[in-house]
A and B are shown apart, each in its own frame.
Chain A
Amino acid sequence: MSGTAPPRVVIVGAGPAGIRAAATLVEAGLHPVVVDEGHRAGGQIYRRPPDGFTRTPEQLYGSEAAKARALHGLFDGLATEGRLTHHLGSSVIAVHEGRLHVLGEGGLQLVSYDRLILATGASDRVAPVPGWQSAGVYSLGAAQIALKAQGVALGRRIVLVGSGPLLTLVGAQLVKAGADVAAVLDTSPWNQQMRGFSRLAARPVVALRGLILRARLGRRYYAGVTLERIEADASGVTALRWRDAGGREQLTPCDMIGMGWHLRAETHLADLVGCAFAYDEQWRQWLPKADEMGRGGNGVYLAGDGVRLLGADGAEIAGRLAAAACLADLGYPAPAISADLHKLKRLERFARGLATAFPWPEAMARTLPNDVIVCRCENVTAGSIRESVERGGGEANRVKSLSRVGMGRCQGRFCQLAAVELVAAKAGCTTEAVGRFRGQAPVRPAPIAAFLREG
């Protein structure tokens, strides 16, 4: 390869997957370009507070502090030594003909690539609850980010709802930090949780840690609840109405509600570069197709929660594997992969156990009353989504153009999964048959001025 410029590999995302991918490429002698929305590398789970904050990684990340320290140190070292280029505070808003359109503080710039590694992560998978448009309703991830990166609770009296590992974790973290957590309400009943339990034994330490965290919640924790309605006044949330597993009506006064049912993969860029997608019945969402190494085709590689929802440990492994695949395809010596592939399979067994134990509340989404807002961006209701199915049939993009669900500024990230359940129920077809909203550039809002050039 002497005499030719080294291949340009660009990584989108500087969480656990992106950092491991970058380090693997650097070890092979390449100089990767890393584009990330954060101001400091770490991603969401290992997100760092701004300069001047004083809590230690042990205080911020608990049992995962050593992993966070290692990743932050690794990335900062490579950046300081000039062995990678870091575009921080920058969003990729479009991809076209081998070039990323990157919007940062200095405006829009084009970044070309020979190979692209997408490590775009995930956000909370949320489902509409009547009244969830009110001020004071947040995702579970938001509650955790507020605590980790800002040292604050988003309300004086907090109720957390949903299902999955983050529900317990955020609850325990807030309690430990001194927040007033009134209740932690899990929509998964005990018998459902037991169904996933055998596969959770694939990671006994992690499973045990989860049980210990849950024990810390004590009598705040309820399994098998039904969420009825968020009450609000002119300044925001005032209470949550719910039913316990025995069907008894409960009213819990609160001014903040955090919600989430595990994770939703961030796939807009994979869509724009033309990756194929497949519907995953267990995770109840569309995911980009990739081989076990993360090859998505056309020089694109996928790693982390943006392609398979395995969490941070899985993301680190997937980042290494995607970089190894990229190196092999470029004709570079690639690191050994068999141990990583083996570990990844074990993590996938565990993750699928979690998906069984803490499922997406499909029935809740399908039976939402007509007046309930499904799209928080533009207040599109369940009724208008059902009406659009009557007019245009049960195809996702038809419903999107008729009802505007998924056309708001979040581009369907927080309404799509509930909306397609509603459409499937109304049209009498499977959720897979409804399809998925097509991604459209720009995948983040961009000011018109960013596209204007002088001269």
Chain B
Amino acid sequence: MITAGRIVRLAERGRAGVRFFLDGEMHSALAGDTVLTAMLAAGHALRTSEFGPEPRAGFCLMGACQDCWVWQDEGPRLRACSTPVAEGMRLRTTPPEHWP
């Protein structure tokens, strides 16, 4: 199943739905998705690079490269590849405005 975003769901599609917010808009993911899977099923990037113009979408998926740290509207940043998505999460691809 081709998603609206980067990823294609090839298996395990019969899971329950989970709703989350990405940059203020509601999206749905599946229970057991990581934040990375959920965000990349909804879009093409996780964050913008602090050091260049290109968007980033993760790299190693095993917690070693640290390319996939993403922001939430409130609360700490998350490593998207190793954090399960949870109902009502409010994720964002850019830093919150109150971040200095």
Q: Assess whether B60 is in contact with A151, with CB atoms less than 8 Å apart.
A: no
Taking CB atoms and an 8 Å cut-off, the chain B residues in 37-72 that contact chain A are 37, 40-41, 44-45, 49-52, 54-67, 69
Any B CB within 8 A of the CB of A198: no
Q: How far is the CB of A145 from chain B (nearest CB, A)?
A: 4
Q: Assess whether A155 is in contact with B6, with CB atoms less than 8 Å apart.
A: yes
A153 with B32, Cβ < 8 A, contacts A138-B61, A445-B66 known: no
Q: Assess whether B60 is in contact with A135, with CB atoms less than 8 Å apart.
A: no
Q: Report the Cα distance A145→B10, complex, angstroms.
A: 13
Binding site of B, secondary structure by majority: helix, strand, loop or mixed? loop
Q: Assess whether A377 is in contact with B6, with CB atoms less than 8 Å apart.
A: no
Q: Assess whether B59 is in contact with A137, with CB atoms less than 8 Å apart.
A: yes
Q: Report the Cα distance A50→B65, complex, angstroms.
A: 21
Q: Report the Cα distance A123→B63, complex, angstroms.
A: 10
Q: Assess whether A151 is in contact with B51, with CB atoms less than 8 Å apart.
A: no
Our pick among B34, B44, B59 for the contact of A138 (Cβ within 8 Å) is: B59
Taking CB atoms and an 8 Å cut-off, the chain A residues in 382-440 that contact chain B are 408-410, 413-414
Q: How large is the interface on A (under 10, 10 to 19, 20 to 34, 35 or more residues)?
A: 35 or more
Q: Assess whether A142 is in contact with B51, with CB atoms less than 8 Å apart.
A: no
Which of B2, B12, B52: most chain A Cβ within 10 A? B12
Q: Report the Cα distance A407→B40, complex, angstroms.
A: 28
Q: Assess whether A151 is in contact with B11, with CB atoms less than 8 Å apart.
A: yes
Any B CB within 8 A of the CB of A44: yes
Q: Which residues of B contact A379 (CB under 8 A)?
A: 49, 51-52
Any A CB within 8 A of the CB of B13: yes
Q: Report the Cα distance A353→B11, complex, angstroms.
A: 35
- Total residues of chain B contacting the partner, CB 8 A: 44
Q: Assess whether A444 is in contact with B37, with CB atoms less than 8 Å apart.
A: no
Q: Report the Cα distance A413→B65, complex, angstroms.
A: 7
Our pick among A54, A145, A177, A410 for the contact of B66 (Cβ within 8 Å) is: A410
Q: Report the Cα distance A151→B11, complex, angstroms.
A: 5
Residue of B nearest to A132 (CB): B59
Q: How far is the CB of B20 from chain A (nearest CB, A)?
A: 16
Q: Assess whether A235 is in contact with B66, with CB atoms less than 8 Å apart.
A: no
Taking CB atoms and an 8 Å cut-off, the chain B residues in 1-50 that contact chain A are 2, 6-16, 31-34, 37, 40-41, 44-45, 49-50
Q: Assess whether A236 is in contact with B8, with CB atoms less than 8 Å apart.
A: no
Our pick among B40, B44, B63 for the contact of A444 (Cβ within 8 Å) is: B63
Binding site of A, secondary structure by majority: helix, strand, loop or mixed? loop
Q: How far is the CB of B24 from chain A (nearest CB, A)?
A: 19
Q: Which residues of B contact A53 (CB under 8 A)?
A: 12, 15, 32
Q: Which residues of B contact A146 (CB under 8 A)?
A: 7, 37, 61
Q: Assess whether A55 is in contact with B45, with CB atoms less than 8 Å apart.
A: no
Q: 0/1 per residue, A362-375, Cβ < 8 Å to B?
A: 00000000000100
Q: Assess whether A138 is in contact with B60, with CB atoms less than 8 Å apart.
A: yes
Residue of A nearest to B8 (CB): A153
A134 with B59, Cβ < 8 A, contacts A153-B7, A177-B11, A445-B66 known: no
Our pick among A52, A89, A179, A235 for the contact of B10 (Cβ within 8 Å) is: A179
Our pick among A123, A178, A235 for the contact of B55 (Cβ within 8 Å) is: A235
Q: Report the Cα distance A142→B46, complex, angstroms.
A: 15
Q: Assess whether A177 is in contact with B58, with CB atoms less than 8 Å apart.
A: no
Our pick among B8, B10, B50, B64 for the contact of A123 (Cβ within 8 Å) is: B64
Q: Which residues of A contact B32 (CB under 8 A)?
A: 49-53, 150
A156 with B8, Cβ < 8 A, contacts A37-B82, A236-B44 known: yes
A151 with B12, Cβ < 8 A, contacts A37-B82, A146-B7, A379-B51 known: yes
Apart from A54-B12, A135-B54, A138-B59, 12 more pairs, CB < 8 Å: A37-B82, A44-B62, A52-B15, A138-B61, A142-B62, A151-B9, A151-B13, A177-B11, A236-B44, A378-B50, A413-B64, A413-B65
* Sample of 19 A–B contacts (CB below 8 Å): A37-B82, A50-B84, A52-B16, A123-B64, A133-B52, A133-B54, A135-B6, A142-B58, A146-B61, A150-B32, A152-B7, A155-B6, A155-B7, A156-B2, A177-B11, A236-B44, A256-B6, A378-B50, A445-B66
3 cross-chain pairs, A with B, having the tightest CB-CB distances, nearest first: A151-B12, A151-B11, A142-B61
